[in-house]
């Protein structure tokens, strides 16, 4: 395919499901890069090697059970040497200790990227029942690695690398040396799969990505790949509009102990129906001045209304405690509303609804006692089939109240005090945190991937990424500074002209303010990284 547009140039049996072998590690590394960029882990986070990971078949780095090794070395070993023990350690570390959980995350991400004929059972690609992919899906994944993580893509062109406990050499070095413009990506081989290769090459302003599955030998695989790339460079137009793939969408589910961000595997749900507001009948016209009600009648009417409201509230079991009686003379009525509680939207994802909260707010001077929550929102680690726990049934409203309702099923009942509590902070991560991370690591917003040339205590900044034109970068900086003026403060806007594009950066910040600003931007679904000296 033409990597610039994603347009297919040539295909043969492109959707045939076959064993991908070590091409699987492309998805393992894609999720590892995602975890780093989302702030879940860092390159220097140490992963624990399990007995299962240490016992994987060759190719191996030589990891020992109980050993701890930095993620940067595991990535190098998996990408360059295609080490199975390193890939499994990555999968277990990001899957909360379970490679099966991580495999479900891989499959869910594949669906999210449009790889509809791929299914993963492990992180390294060793032959397993139900573990398959296609040539088209692997080319799609290769293109996503290039566009989604350009800062890490160079790992696939290395001929050798330091993997911590050993220096490793590339399994793809022969093809990289023989074909002009080749700069990746990944080889694979098992007896069941044959000789596989996903490759990328650039000549001039053209970039071609191709995949060969089921080659008869290394030489045969290389020969077919050269023919495919030559055909691609010959047929691809010199000038073509670059169409970058859309960022992957995510869904967020909450847990009492942690917040987990997972790839959305379910279809987009239909938008909820608009709110329908029903009100009481229009009040009768005001009585004339001649028909004045006596003070005694007003007191009696208020007492009667309070008595009726208390009786109905008790019958509906709206609150665990008795509703306090209204003070005589109070004329305001209770307002009972049912509203949907929106899920944090990450990367503009449309997500499954979470149970709504139903609140009762009394207008009395003394706030009513908070009711005990009937349930908590629970997250599922099985991201292949995410589910939500239904909330408790809602209570009934007092007569004369105003109802605002949605079509959300089974709303949760919650009585609110006169002053709402502060909103709880939510940390968004990709998967459960590995136990070997230090306590402070979880708060790191992003991994530093570039530098700025500021001096003194304000040598930090926030990078919003690379863009194709200086105008696009400048517009984003201006728009962001207006939206987050409080967090960015007096930070300076700077557009850097690099080989990879125009980098939009806020500079002249200290470390704490840069992290705070980046956290605020991430909450707005704006990708960013903290940069420093």
Q: What tens digit of pLDDT does each residue of 472-508 get?
A: 888 888 888 878 877 787 888 889 888 888 999 999 8
Asked whether residue 6 is assigned to any structural domain, the reply reads: no
- Examine the domain organization and report whether 404 and 470 are in the same domain: no
The answer on 320 and 190 residing in a single domain is no
Which of 53-62, 94-103, 240-249 comes out lowest in average pLDDT? Answer: 240-249
- H or E, element range at 412: strand 412-415
Band of pLDDT at residue 227, cut at 50, 70 and 90: very high
Q: Report which of residues 512 and 148 the model is more confident about.
A: 148
Cβ(193)–Cβ(18) under 8 Å?
yes
| CA 247 to the chain's CA centroid | 10
Q: For the residues 112-125, what does the mean pLDDT come to?
A: 96
The residue among 246, 270, 292 that closes a domain is: 246
More confident residue, 120 or 405: 120
Question: In this structure, are 172 and 183 located in the same domain?
Answer: yes
* Distance from C-alpha of 265 to C-alpha of 402, rounded to nearest angstrom: 38
**Per-residue pLDDT, 522:** 86
Q: Which domain holds residue 175?
A: 21-246
The token duo for 13 is 């049996």
Tell whether 492 and 506 lie within a shared domain: yes
Residue 169 lies in a domain: yes
What does the pLDDT look like over 437-474, one tens digit per residue? 433 333 334 334 333 333 446 788 999 999 988 888 88
User: What mean pLDDT, rounded, does the chain reach?
Assistant: 73
Q: Does 384 have pLDDT greater than 50? A: no
Q: Which of 411, 434, 457 is the last residue of a domain?
A: 434
Residue 385 pLDDT > 80: no
Task: Kindly state the percentage of the chain with pLDDT values over 70.
Answer: 61
If pLDDT is split at 50, 70 and 90, which confidence band does 175 have?
A: very high
Position 139 pLDDT exceeds 70: yes
Q: Per mean pLDDT, which range of 130-144, 215-229, 242-256, 399-413 is the poorest?
A: 399-413
Catalytic positions: 22, 25, 82
Q: Is residue 5 part of a domain?
A: no
Weakest-pLDDT range from 111-125, 290-304, 324-338 = 324-338
Residue 357 above 80 pLDDT? no
Asked if residue 90 belongs to a domain, the reply is yes
Give the Å distances, CA to CA, from 302 to 332, 361, 397.
Answer: 10, 19, 18
Q: Is residue 357 part of a domain?
A: yes
Residues 67 and 160 in one domain: yes
Q: Is the pLDDT of residue 60 over 60?
A: yes
- Predicted confidence at residue 168, as pLDDT, reads 95
Residue 296 in domain = no
Q: Which of 369, 401, 434 is the last residue of a domain?
A: 434
Lowest-pLDDT range, 208-212, 234-238, 367-371, 391-395? 391-395
Same domain, 94 and 193: yes
pLDDT tier for residue 282 given thresholds of 50, 70 and 90: low
My answer on whether 232 and 275 are in the same domain is no
Once rounded to an integer, what is the mean pLDDT over residues 232-244?
A: 93
- CB within 8 A of 484, min separation 6: which ones? 517, 520, 521, 524
Strand partners, 259: 254
Give bridge partners of residue 84 from the DSSP assignment: none
pLDDT of amino acid 43:
95
Residue 312 binned pLDDT confidence (cut-offs 50, 70, 90): low
Q: How far from 131 is each of 109, 192, 288, CA to CA, in Å?
A: 15, 12, 82
Could you report the per-residue pLDDT of 431-443, keeping only the tens digit for each? 333 333 433 333 3
**Overall number of domains in the chain:** 3
More confident residue, 14 or 454: 14
Q: What is the mean pLDDT of residues 215-222?
A: 94
Q: Do 462 and 398 reside in the same domain of the chain?
A: no
Are 338 and 219 part of one and the same domain?
no
Question: What's 92's domain CATH number?
Answer: 3.40.710.10
Residues 67 and 153 in one domain: yes
* CATH number reported for the structural domain that contains residue 478 in this entry: 3.30.70.1070
Residues 6+ apart with CB under 8 A from 175: 182, 187, 197, 199, 222, 225
Statement: residue 128 has pLDDT above 90 = yes
Q: How far apart are CA 388 and CA 254, in angstroms?
A: 9
Is there a single domain that holds both residue 144 and residue 266? no
- Other CB atoms within 10 Å distance of the CB of residue 29: 25
DSSP character string of 194-258: EEEEEEEEEETTEEEEEEEEEESSHHHHHHHHHHHHHHHHHHS-SS----PPPPPPEEEEE-SS-
User: What pLDDT is attached to residue 298?
Assistant: 59
**Mean pLDDT (whole number) for 89-117:** 96
**DSSP character string of 347-367:** TT---PPPPPEEEEE--SSSP
Same domain, 93 and 207: yes
Q: Is residue 284 part of a domain?
A: no
Is 440 part of any domain? Answer: no
Model confidence at 323, in pLDDT bands (50, 70, 90)?
Answer: low
- Cα three-residue angle 265-268-269, rounded to 5 degrees: 125
């Amino acid at each position: 395919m033409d990597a610039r547009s994603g347009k297919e140039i040539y295909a043969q049996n492109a959707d045939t499901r076959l064993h991908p072998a070590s091409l699987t590690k492309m998805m393992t590394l894609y999720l590892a890069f995602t975890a780093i960029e989302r702030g879940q882990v860092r390159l220097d986070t140490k992963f624990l090697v399990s007995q299962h990971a240490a016992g994987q078949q060759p190719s191996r780095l030589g990891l020992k059970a109980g050993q701890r090794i930095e993620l940067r070395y595991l990535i190098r070993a998996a990408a360059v040497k295609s080490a199975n023990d390193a890939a499994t350690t990555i999968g277990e570390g990001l899957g909360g200790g379970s490679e099966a959980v991580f495999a479900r995350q891989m499959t869910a991400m594949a669906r999210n990227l449009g790889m509809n004929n791929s299914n993963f059972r492990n992180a390294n690609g060793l032959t397993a029942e139900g573990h398959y992919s296609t040539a088209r899906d692997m080319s799609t994944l290769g293109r996503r690695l290039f566009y989604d993580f350009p800062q890490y893509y160079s790992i696939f062109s290395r001929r050798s690398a330091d993997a911590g406990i050993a220096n490793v050499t590339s399994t793809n070095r022969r093809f990289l040396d023989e074909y002009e413009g080749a700069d990746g990506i990944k080889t694979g081989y098992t007896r069941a799969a044959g000789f596989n290769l996903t490759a990328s090459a650039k000549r001039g302003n053209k970039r071609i990505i191709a995949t060969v599955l089921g080659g008869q030998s290394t030489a045969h695989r290389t020969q077919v790949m050269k023919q495919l790339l030559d055909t691609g460079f010959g047929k691809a137009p010199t000038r073509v509009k670059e169409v970058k793939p859309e960022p992957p969408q995510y869904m967020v589910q909450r847990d009492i102990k942690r917040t987990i961000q997972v790839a959305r595997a379910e279809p987009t749900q239909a938008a909820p129906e608009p709110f329908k507001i029903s009100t009481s009948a229009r009040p009768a016209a005001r009585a004339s001045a001649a028909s004045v009600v006596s003070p005694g009648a007003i007191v009696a009417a208020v007492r009667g209304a309070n008595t009726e409201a208390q009786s109905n509230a008790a019958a509906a079991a709206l609150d665990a405690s008795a509703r306090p009686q209204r003070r005589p003379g109070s004329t305001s009525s209770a307002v009972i509303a049912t509203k949907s509680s929106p899920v944090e939207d990450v990367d503009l994802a449309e997500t499954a609804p979470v149970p709504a909260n139903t609140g009762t707010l009394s207008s009395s001077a003394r706030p009513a006692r908070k009711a005990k929550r009937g349930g908590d929102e629970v997250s599922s680690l099985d991201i292949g089939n995410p589910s939500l726990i239904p909330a408790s049934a809602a209570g009934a409203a007092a007569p004369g109240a105003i109802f605002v309702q949605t079509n959300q099923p089974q709303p949760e009942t919650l009585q609110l005090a006169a002053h709402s509590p502060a909103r709880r902070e939510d940390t968004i991560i990709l998967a459960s945190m590995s136990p070997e991370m230090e306590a402070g690591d979880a708060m790191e917003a992003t991994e530093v991937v570039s530098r700025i040339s500021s001096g003194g205590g304000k040598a930090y900044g926030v990078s919003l990424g690379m863009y194709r034109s200086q105008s696009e970068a400048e517009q984003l900086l201006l728009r962001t500074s207006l939206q987050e003026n409080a967090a960015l403060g007096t930070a300076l806007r700077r557009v850097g002209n690099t080989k990879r594009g125009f980098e939009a950066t806020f500079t002249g910040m200290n470390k704490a303010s840069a992290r705070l600003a980046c956290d605020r931007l991430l909450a707005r679904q704006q990708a960013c990284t903290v940069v420093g000296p």
